[in-house]
Every structure is written in structure tokens, then in C-alpha cells.
């Protein structure tokens, strides 16, 4: 009986959300940079 370990799932979700956060932060920084110009 194979069961997915919660650690792996949590790790994958953590990486995914971290990538999304960095992505949105980058967009926000670029936008604020252009509004400053």
C-alpha cells in the first residue's frame, strides 16, 4: 500500500508558493520602479 508522504507534498507546495511569491514581488518591484520614473 503506497501512500504519499505529507513532507513531500508540503515541500512541493512550499516551493510552488515561494516561486509565485517571488514572481509577484518581482512584478511589484518593476511596477513601482516605473512609477518612480
In this predicted structure, what is the pLDDT of residue 14? 93
- Count Cα neighbours of 25 within 13 Å in the Cβ-side half-sphere: 6
Cα 33 to Cα 7, 10, 18, 30, 36, distances in angstroms = 38, 34, 22, 5, 5
In this predicted structure, what is the pLDDT of residue 22? 96
In this predicted structure, what is the pLDDT of residue 18? 96
In this predicted structure, what is the pLDDT of residue 13? 93
The CA distance from 28 to 26, in Å, is: 5
In this predicted structure, what is the pLDDT of residue 29? 92
Per residue in 1-37, pLDDT tens?
A: 567 788 888 899 999 999 999 999 999 999 988 887 6
Q: How big is the chain by its Cα radius of gyration, in Å? A: 17
Q: What is the pTM of this model?
A: 0.55
Amino acid at each position: 500500500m503506497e501512500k504519499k508522504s505529507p513532507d513531500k507534498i508540503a515541500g512541493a507546495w512550499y516551493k510552488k508558493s515561494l516561486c509565485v511569491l517571488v514572481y509577484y514581488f518581482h512584478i511589484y518591484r518593476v511596477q513601482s520602479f516605473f512609477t518612480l520614473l
